Amino acid sequence: MVRPLVPRAPFPLNAPMQDIGSPDAGSDQTLEDRLLAVGRDRDRAAFAALFGHFAPRLKAYLRRQGCDAAGAEELVQEVMLLVWRRAETYDPAQASASTWVFTIARNKRIDVLRREQRPEIDPDDPALVPALVPDRPESADRRLETQESAGRLRAALKDLPPEQAELLRLAYFEDKPHSVISIERGIPLGTVKSRLRLAMERLRKALRDTA
């Protein structure tokens, strides 16, 4: 019998995690803390806790991308192994743990399901045109900011009008560009675009609002 490894209710992004069967269950460690512990100490208990949190979400994500149950199980394991191997490169000032895991899962499924490369920038490329205003260097502050903005983002996501939230989920979960979504759902392309733009405007405002 398959039993859920985590409670069905979603975790708040940066709130204390409740985990089943991990030695430090009930501690107030965030996902980010645990990811850092894996990167720093190869902490298996922290990894198990991350698995408990992310594996069921990754499975749901991969199923929506068209994986069958067995394929999704296998791919979840591959993604979690990458999390283990790459944890050392995780920088909490740049992204929340969920965002970081999302990008790993996205790239892995493009690689495995589509057998395509995903072209990405190389941050060390001398041809990269730098930002006009350089990133603030204080890492501790930026980590806090990243966590706070992730919290605001989740709140803003809940407040989106349903038709915007629905399109946003399709755009991120169904491996279809917005032009295809428009055709398949019978929604005019202009409407798809304007809903996605409006949604992104609200979310961007929430992310950037430092008040």
Partner 1 sequence: MTVPTHHPGDTLLIDYAGGALDEAVSLAVATHLALCPCCRLNVAEMEAVGGALLEEIEPEAVDPTSLEAVLARLDEHPPLPRAAAPVRPSKPVPVPLIPEPLRRYIGDDPSRLPWTRLMRGMDCCDIPLSRTLSGPPGSRSKARLMRLGPGVGPPHHTHRGIELTLVLDGGFTDDLGQFGRGDLSVADGSIRHRPVADEEGCLCLAVTDGLLRFTGALGLILNPFVKF
Looking at residues 181 to 200 of the shown chain, list those that interact with partner 1 (rule: CB under 8 A). 192-193, 196-197, 200
102 contributes a contact to partner 1 by CB under 8 A: yes
Q: Rule CB under 8 A: say whether 137 interacts with partner 1.
A: no
Under the binding rule (CB under 8 A), the answer on residue 210 touching partner 1 is: no
Distance CA 23, CA 33 (A): 15
Candidate residues 32, 100, 147, 164; the one interacting with partner 1 per rule CB under 8 A:
100
- Our finding on whether 127 is near partner 1 (CB under 8 A) is yes
DSSP secondary structure letters along 79-91: HHHHHHHHGGG--
Which string of x and - marks every residue 44-73 that binds partner 1 (by CB under 8 A)? x--xx--xx--xxxxxxx-xx-------xx
Q: Which of 28, 122, 162, 210 touches partner 1 by CB under 8 A?
A: 122
Work out how close the CB of 133 gets to partner 1 at its nearest, in angstroms, rounded to a whole number.
9
Is 76 a binding residue for partner 1 by CB under 8 A? The answer is: yes
Minimum CB separation from partner 1 for residue 190, in Å? 11
Helix, strand, or coil (residue 71): helix
Residues 6+ apart with CB under 8 A from 6: 19, 20, 52, 53, 56
Any residues with CB less than 8 A from the CB of 170 and at least 6 apart, and which? 176, 181, 185
Q: How many positions of this chain bind partner 1 (CB under 8 A)?
A: 96
Distance CA 99, CA 40 (A): 19
Residue 42 binds to partner 1 (criterion: CB under 8 A):
yes
Closest CA relative to residue 57, chosen from 32, 38, 80: 80
Q: How far is C-alpha 99 from the chain's CA centre?
A: 3
CB of 86 to partner 1, least distance (A): 6
